[in-house]
Amino acid sequence: MNEVYREMAGALAVGKAFAVATVVRTRGSTPRKAGAKMLIYEDGTFSGTIGGGCGEAEVWQEATEALRNGKPRLMKVDLTNDTAADEGMICGGIMEIFIEPLGREE
């Protein structure tokens, strides 16, 4: 986790825009718990993880949109058994993720 904070500080110091995705709540079996963070940069690269797989891909997509329009958002990633089975995931819970764009002067 400290590495994510170091990267955030470095990006902010040079004015590099990024979105931070933070797991704020979980229910059931999830790959990460509340507090897990992932940084997503405008060029599509990222650092950290909120769990990998399809759920993380959904978060990446929402984060890139948040970077485009500058608006934070709260999203739900559904990893319940029906959804998980269709996607080949082994988890079975729900994660709520807060996505906040940072590093750009408004």
pLDDT band, residue 90 (cuts 50/70/90) = low
Other Cβ atoms less than 10 A from the Cβ of 60: the count is 18
Stronger pLDDT, 53 or 5, i.e. the higher one: 5
User: Within 1-106, where are the H helices?
Assistant: 2-14, 53-69, 81-87
CA–CA dist 100, 106 (Å, integer): 14
Q: Which residues contact 36 (CB under 8 A, 6 or more apart)?
A: 22, 23, 48, 49, 50, 51
Query: Residue ranges per domain, the chain?
Result: 2-102
Longest CA–CA span in the chain (Å) reads 44
* Structure confidence by residue, pLDDT tens digits, 10-51: 999 999 999 999 999 999 888 889 999 999 999 999 999 998
* Structure confidence by residue, pLDDT tens digits, 49-88: 998 787 888 999 999 999 999 999 999 998 886 555 555 5
CA–CA dist 14, 27 (Å, integer): 37
| C-alpha pair distances (Å), 86 with each of 7, 17, 52, 98, 99 | 35, 34, 16, 25, 26
C-beta of residue 34 within 8 angstroms of C-beta of residue 17: no
